[in-house]
Structure 1
Amino acid sequence: MGANASRVDAQDPEASGGFVVPAAPSQEHPLVARLYVFDIDNNKWLQQNSEAIPEFSKVDEDEDDMEAGWYLAVSGQFDLLISEDLRLTVDGLTKTWYFYAGTSRCLKFYSKEGFDLANQRYDNCLFENRYKLEPTEENKKKIYEKDAYDAWALGQDPAEIFFDVDEPEDHCDPKKFNHLREDHASHEDDSEAHQLEMGGLDNSFLIKDGSVEVFRNVNDGVKKSGVSVKLNFKGTPMTPQKALLANQESNLLFLTPDTSKKSSIFRVDLEREQVVSEWTFRKDGVDIPMADIATDSKSAQMDLTSTFMGLDSNRLCRWDTRTAQGKVQEQEVELEYSTGKDYSVASKTLFRCMATTGEGHVALGSYDGRIRLYTDRSLTKAKTAFPGLGSPITAIDCSYDGKWVLATTDTYVLVISTAFRTKDGAMTTGFKAAMGKSQSAPRLLKLLPSDVTKTGNAPFTKARFTWITEQGKQERWIVVSCGTYSVLWNFRQVKMSTGPGASAATTGGFKTCFDYSMSSSKSETVMDSAFMHDNFNSTTSNMVVATKHDIYSCAGMDIDD
């Protein structure tokens, strides 16, 4: 294991000196380490214990204030359930753990043997807590499946891996994000916004309680138009839960949280500024509730397309708006388990989110952490299934060419390469053919320990690529919202710093990129951060950041040096 010296080493509490570091501990316990806590007020690390010992203990049954599972304590401090919520980052170069326990903390182990032993114990405890199985090799192969075991259990890449880092070099420094031009505007009224729906043509839209506020797209962001579309249908005010643009962005389709309307979708005619239709999701006379909707492809909202994607907990559908129940494709999803297809198991899988590529291939994220890739030609069976790392996938995005997938969890973002070479030597992606043992290990995007404290341990939400709709172009940026901040990674730098042969810090054996920048803190939680369509980017990449009551246009991310 290595470390990203430019970012992780800067967090090393002993790098700047000022601490008395014993050459050796007075006790012989193999796990003895030095414990530090991060002081956010003074932006520095404070030593708490020069001979701390991490302790692993198991609670067999749920108790009043503790659920069953393995817990971590350090010399009797903070009994914490071992999970991704600890945000553990491992730096093998300095034999250091960074983790979150009320604030950011770190353990610097005296010996490599103790460091390796602590890693092994932690990983085994995490596996057992995650999957409720003993951490045997047999059980690990059962969870990660034979073909995905090396990549997803061990963090190992196949012999041939494609990271597309040979593109023309850019000099997009994510630190320039601190110096973006920001234009701020309050919403037209006091109602809260729930979703930012970016348009690639004239307008973008804020989806709010009872209305849709319209903003004009301009070259450096969005401007207020003064137009707000009231959402009333047959005299009843409507609140959208999930929305998408359609029909050259002249229509807005939305789901509602109203429990009596779970099987309905409503259409807003944005030119007439009113809700004009209600459709019912139905198959064989039975209403089907949908939890998520998505466009047929990355650019479908700008086209005259009548179909869109629908998702519920164990069903993926394509619906057609030209008829009342005009479904093109629909099939209960058959999940790929080594033990066979079991719909009682499938009912617990709980599909959660989806996204499409430029060609219309579909990526699905699940509550159990699994990620599935479907070709645009068939929704009946995933071409490739990634086992994930156990954390629920809360949002997903794809690159336009389908070679990359972003999967958001509360504490990290997975960056997954889908490109591989088939047995006959042809280049393809996991959307079009089963990747098998050609799966590469996922890369992780995480916050530095000090920034976890800075954000108040807020969860990540909605990681997105730059929005392009043209083959041959490559996405330049990744953004994710976190608390009152937007966090930005240069995509090329991610690939270079975590690619084959690169030395990087790790999380559970997976290469992790910390080379990012954070926006200025907003006055309230960032609801969404999204890039302008490439139509509105010439020499800069521009972005829009929305909170419940404010919207910000952020311009100035260099595209070319």
Structure 2
Amino acid sequence: MNFLKKFIGSASTDEVISLPSGKLFLTRSPNSPKGELECLYNDAFASIRQTTTPFFYRLFVTRVYQEGELNANEDGGFEDSEDEDEFDERHNVVRSANDPNSVSGHSKDEYGFTISDELKFHYYEKGDGTRAISWKDLNGDLGDRFEFIVDEDCSQTDVDSFMLALFKCQYEQRYHKSSLGFTSISQLKEFAYDPKAELLTFEDLNKDINWDEDEEEEEEEEEDADYAEPARRGRRAPVAVESESDSESDSEFHDATTGIVKSKPTSSSPSAQALVTVFQYNEADLHIYDSESESFKLLADKPAISIVDAGDWKYYLKIAGHFDVLISKDINPVFTYDYNAFIFNYFNSPTTIASYLLKFPDFETLSNFQNIFMTQLWQSLNKQKFGQTVANKSDMDYVLDAFSNVNVDDDDLNDEDKMLVDALSDDEPEQPEEEEFSKSKIRQTVREPKLFVDSDDDDDEFDQEAAKFKNNASKNSNLSVGYSKDRSYVVRGDKLGVFKNSDEDLTFQTTISDLTTLKGKKFTPLNTMLHQQDQFMVMQNSELSDENKLFKMDLERGKIIEEWEVGRDQAIKSFAPNTKFSQLTAEQTLTGISSNGMFKIDPRLQTKDKLVNDNTLKLYKTKNNDFSSVATTQAGFIAVGSKRGDVRLYDRLGINAKTALPSLGEPIKGLDVSADGRWLLATCETYLLLIDNKIGEGQRNEGSLGFLKSFDKDKKPKPRRLTIKPEHTAYMYNESGGKPLSFTVAHFNTGVSTQESTIVTSSGPYVITWSLKKILKPKKASRSAKSSKVSADNYEDSYLIKRYKEDVIADNFKFGSNADVILALSNDVTMDNKKIFNRATKSYFTNTNKNSVVQEL
């Protein structure tokens, strides 16, 4: 019975695993009046049993009697009972080893302990090679620990299996979920207790403990070997995470279960002495992206690959003989299941990037690597342990799914949904049409140094006004596209440029100059929103002292006419119309958020504060929500994003969220939502998230929206993570002189009778559009797991791209159009049709295509 029998689904009294032979001791501090070492059972076996409570297990150590010993001891039973009573009184324990609800207890022949983190299990080998498993005596004095000395007859395989089972029990007790997916102790390193890591506190020192230094050093030497150390008696060492400085004699050991080999990092590794290996593998091939063939070519056959923990929330992907990559959002990781591949970028220099691909032999190994890699990436971004916050399996799946380039159409969309996707507009032209279309709209493309397209009114006064706006020392910083009056507004310092949206171009109209508050202070708009049929603009001031105020500007008069406060303690982080199309009406109220609350703003209130203090006000008691962005649907449903990266969905103000979506690690920069609430678009620094808010089949609230009803606890929508392919990111980085990927707030095309079908955003000088139809129904790549060459076209990119001379500050679609994109560049404003955007190819990025827009610029 010395093997792992079962874990979930067994009867309440089933034994999970056992060690058949050993001794049980109670160890104490050297100066304890009770003695340092007390032998409790001279011959015993250890076992783990499942309790009647799900996810709870107990460790039992049972006395073993030799033949005839039990009968010989029957007359001495009373004396043993007195010993038991004395021990019970001393330790204040219950007299039932079989009670699953007791923390610890014992009977004459058995000790029982509920397995939990509190026991701090520790495996080690003593100087003489004796193997021991120890755990804390929760009812004893400070420093008291139980110690099970494993008999020499027990194989190391049995000990390894027992420790694995013990850690799996701790995992289930902590997270209340099955541990069936774990096959190696290296996957459960968080439960390997290190006594050196626990220092005595001043409270501990005040107790009567006065250990001799020599004795303390002797004990440290005795317990110096952690569970992960190589065995000193010729046995295979148990598999676990190991500190690189712990092992000097053996450079590697092998996990027979997973085939993962662990070895010490080379001396060139970052902080080599502090590194801890959490994953290593040597069966994946390394490829590098070749721009000439536009494919990944084999660079190294099965190099040693490892992921290491360098401390201080820094983790590295190490590829032996090549490079160490700091795991961060900047490497733009992509997992493509069609080819069992992981693609990422590596910075060769501050201004150049290369793209690499690791090709794994099978999906299972890639999936294992992905889980570990994403855990380290999440931890590096959030500066906390993944399991401590993302403990729910559905949340973990949500995080992992977002970084997987996998076709999720069949899983998420029913037949009705697929018909709707097929009906979505694509409007993507054939590339030969680009040159003819560009010529027909040459006024829309910036080819000359002049700032704006000329107006039909060519008088000197108009030219002077345009030049005044252009020559402002400030840069363009904000863009608002009108819903009612075909106007767009661009913030440039303390000025506001007004542009007319015509059918084919964007023309400069006028400048609203020298903006000031009601008290005459200089005003530099920070966030802007058109209001009440585009007659007014609601703005925030960049001055910190005005963070709790909004300002209303009359666009006809060109001046600020009202200031709205929302209370001293409510710094406004973002605001939005009450419904998606409120700007088309005379509605005066707004929806606002602070870092910790949500509220309605009503400027009609006859008080200084315009915050509506009724049942619509929601202020959270916790102070670390860090709300940062808000968006609303046509029905007034509300989505709120945070700097922590999570998103919450509400059907109205004043209540708790119906749905909470976990963070992937990056802050939410902005939100947009489809008019019907089905699709949510969240912008982060290096990716966008497209989330289907419709609750899927088989769930309790099937067919409803996450705004109105909650998803099942074990279900979350599968997020589509939209980003630029790593090899394209490398092109963009290299061609722009080292500008990292940083998306502007993305938007759907929108209109009262318009179906959302396209997404637009930008990064640096590049504008990118995604086809919603291609995202939801991607081209299925032909599977070629044996191929050593992976083409860039093997995993479909659903975006088009265009480069401009300057960085793009903000972008949005013209209202009612899914093709015309209005752009505010650093020093320019323009409108282009997405038909002149290009597929991201080598010829486009390197200016070899004579029709390239980059060439035209």
TM-score range, shorter chain: 0.7 to 0.9
Where does 1:213-362 land on structure 2 (aligned, <5 Å)? 213-233=497-517, 234-282=519-567, 286-323=568-605, 324-328=608-612, 331-334=617-620, 343=621, 346-362=622-638
Deviation at 1:269, TM superposition (A): 0.7
Asked whether 1:109 is paired with 2:359, we answer yes
Kindly provide the amino acid, as one letter, of the partner of residue 88 in structure 1: P
Higher relative contact order (CA 8 A, sep 6+): 1
- Distance in 1 separating the partners of 2:661 and 2:335: 23
Aligned counterpart, 2:693: 418
Deviations along 1:35-90, whole A, 9 cap, x unmatched?
Answer: 344466996767654453332221124xxxxxx33211222544333232221112
User: CA RMSD, aligned part only?
Assistant: 3.4
For residues 272 and 443 of structure 1, do their structure 2 counterparts lie closer, same or farther at Cα, with a shift above 3 Å needed? Answer: same
Where does 1:515-534 land on structure 2 (aligned, <5 Å)? 515-519=798-802, 521-534=803-816
Asked whether 1:543 is paired with 2:824, we answer no
Aligned counterpart, 1:482: 763
- Distance in 2 separating the partners of 1:382 and 1:220: 43
- Distance in 2 separating the partners of 1:523 and 1:160: 40
For residues 493 and 110 of structure 1, do their structure 2 counterparts lie closer, same or farther at Cα, with a shift above 3 Å needed? Answer: closer
For residues 554 and 51 of structure 1, do their structure 2 counterparts lie closer, same or farther at Cα, with a shift above 3 Å needed? Answer: same
Aligned counterpart, 1:450: 727
1:38 touches 1:450 (CA, 8 Å); kept in 2? yes
For residues 306 and 100 of structure 1, do their structure 2 counterparts lie closer, same or farther at Cα, with a shift above 3 Å needed? Answer: same
- Distance in 1 separating the partners of 2:491 and 2:401: 42
Deviations along 1:328-367, whole A, 9 cap, x unmatched?
Answer: 3553444xxxxxxxx4xx3223111111111221111112
Number of positions where the alignment pairs a residue of Structure 1 with one of Structure 2:
493
- Distance in 2 separating the partners of 1:58 and 1:81: 10
- Distance in 1 separating the partners of 2:513 and 2:418: 44
Deviation at 1:125, TM superposition (A): 2.5
Deviation at 1:129, TM superposition (A): 3.1
- Distance in 2 separating the partners of 1:361 and 1:443: 21
2:649 touches 2:658 (CA, 8 Å); kept in 1? yes
- Distance in 1 separating the partners of 2:654 and 2:376: 37
DSSP-derived class of the 2:744 partner: strand
Asked whether 1:370 is paired with 2:655, we answer no
Aligned counterpart, 1:395: 670
Deviation at 1:444, TM superposition (A): 1.5
Larger Rg: 1 or 2? Answer: 2
Aligned counterpart, 2:121: none
Aligned counterpart, 2:772: 491
Kindly provide the amino acid, as one letter, of the partner of residue 356 in structure 2: C
Deviations along 1:394-418, whole A, 9 cap, x unmatched?
Answer: 1111001111000111221111011
Deviations along 1:428-448, whole A, 9 cap, x unmatched?
Answer: 311122223553211111211
DSSP-derived class of the 1:301 partner: helix
Deviation at 1:174, TM superposition (A): 7.2
Instruction: Answer with 98-107 or 50-59: which moved more.
Output: 50-59
For residues 157 and 39 of structure 1, do their structure 2 counterparts lie closer, same or farther at Cα, with a shift above 3 Å needed? Answer: closer
Deviation at 1:237, TM superposition (A): 1.9
- Distance in 2 separating the partners of 1:373 and 1:360: 11
1:479 touches 1:489 (CA, 8 Å); kept in 2? yes
For residues 144 and 379 of structure 1, do their structure 2 counterparts lie closer, same or farther at Cα, with a shift above 3 Å needed? Answer: farther
For residues 493 and 111 of structure 1, do their structure 2 counterparts lie closer, same or farther at Cα, with a shift above 3 Å needed? Answer: closer
1:214 touches 1:226 (CA, 8 Å); kept in 2? yes
Instruction: Answer with 244-253 or 290-299: which moved more.
Output: 290-299
- Distance in 2 separating the partners of 1:426 and 1:114: 34
Kindly provide the amino acid, as one letter, of the partner of residue 682 in structure 2: A
- Distance in 2 separating the partners of 1:35 and 1:262: 51
Deviation at 1:152, TM superposition (A): 4.5
Deviation at 1:91, TM superposition (A): 2.3
Aligned counterpart, 1:462: 745
DSSP-derived class of the 1:529 partner: strand
Deviations along 1:231-269, whole A, 9 cap, x unmatched?
Answer: 123332210111111121111111112122112221111
1:40 touches 1:454 (CA, 8 Å); kept in 2? no
Deviation at 1:466, TM superposition (A): 0.4
DSSP-derived class of the 1:554 partner: strand
Instruction: Answer with 95-104 or 126-135: which moved more.
Output: 126-135
- Distance in 1 separating the partners of 2:427 and 2:569: 49
Kindly provide the amino acid, as one letter, of the partner of residue 306 in structure 1: Q
Aligned counterpart, 1:194: 477
For residues 545 and 39 of structure 1, do their structure 2 counterparts lie closer, same or farther at Cα, with a shift above 3 Å needed? Answer: farther
- Distance in 2 separating the partners of 1:218 and 1:36: 49
- Distance in 2 separating the partners of 1:183 and 1:463: 21
DSSP-derived class of the 1:216 partner: strand
Deviation at 1:193, TM superposition (A): 1.3
- Distance in 2 separating the partners of 1:264 and 1:515: 41
Aligned counterpart, 1:100: 345
Deviations along 1:114-155, whole A, 9 cap, x unmatched?
Answer: 5455334323423443455556xxx27x51546655544567
**Aligned with residue 379 of structure 1, among 654, 661, 664:** 654
For residues 380 and 226 of structure 1, do their structure 2 counterparts lie closer, same or farther at Cα, with a shift above 3 Å needed? Answer: same
DSSP-derived class of the 2:804 partner: coil
- Distance in 1 separating the partners of 2:570 and 2:806: 36
| Percent of matched pairs sharing the same residue | 23
Aligned counterpart, 2:215: none
For residues 149 and 74 of structure 1, do their structure 2 counterparts lie closer, same or farther at Cα, with a shift above 3 Å needed? Answer: closer
2:565 touches 2:611 (CA, 8 Å); kept in 1? no
- Distance in 2 separating the partners of 1:175 and 1:288: 51
Deviation at 1:424, TM superposition (A): 8.1
Asked whether 1:208 is paired with 2:492, we answer yes
Query: Which protein has the bigger helix share?
Result: 2
For residues 153 and 42 of structure 1, do their structure 2 counterparts lie closer, same or farther at Cα, with a shift above 3 Å needed? Answer: closer
For residues 546 and 427 of structure 1, do their structure 2 counterparts lie closer, same or farther at Cα, with a shift above 3 Å needed? Answer: same
1:174 touches 1:488 (CA, 8 Å); kept in 2? no
Where does 1:114-153 land on structure 2 (aligned, <5 Å)? 115-132=366-383, 139=387, 143=390, 145=392, 148=395, 150-153=397-400
DSSP-derived class of the 1:461 partner: coil
Aligned counterpart, 2:682: 407
TM score, norm. by length of structure 1 = 0.79
1:150 touches 1:157 (CA, 8 Å); kept in 2? no
2:600 touches 2:617 (CA, 8 Å); kept in 1? no
Aligned counterpart, 1:91: 336
Aligned counterpart, 1:337: none
- Distance in 2 separating the partners of 1:504 and 1:418: 31
For residues 270 and 442 of structure 1, do their structure 2 counterparts lie closer, same or farther at Cα, with a shift above 3 Å needed? Answer: same
Aligned counterpart, 1:35: 286
Instruction: Answer with 313-322 or 548-557: which moved more.
Output: 548-557
For residues 545 and 43 of structure 1, do their structure 2 counterparts lie closer, same or farther at Cα, with a shift above 3 Å needed? Answer: farther
Structure 2 unmatched ranges of 5 or more: 1-260, 263-279, 348-352, 403-407, 453-468, 734-739, 785-794, 837-857
DSSP-derived class of the 1:164 partner: helix
- Distance in 1 separating the partners of 2:569 and 2:299: 59
DSSP-derived class of the 1:252 partner: strand
**Aligned with residue 74 of structure 1, among 313, 319, 325:** 319
DSSP-derived class of the 1:201 partner: coil
1:87 touches 1:100 (CA, 8 Å); kept in 2? yes
- Distance in 2 separating the partners of 1:427 and 1:502: 30
Query: Which protein has the bigger strand share?
Result: 1
2:670 touches 2:745 (CA, 8 Å); kept in 1? yes
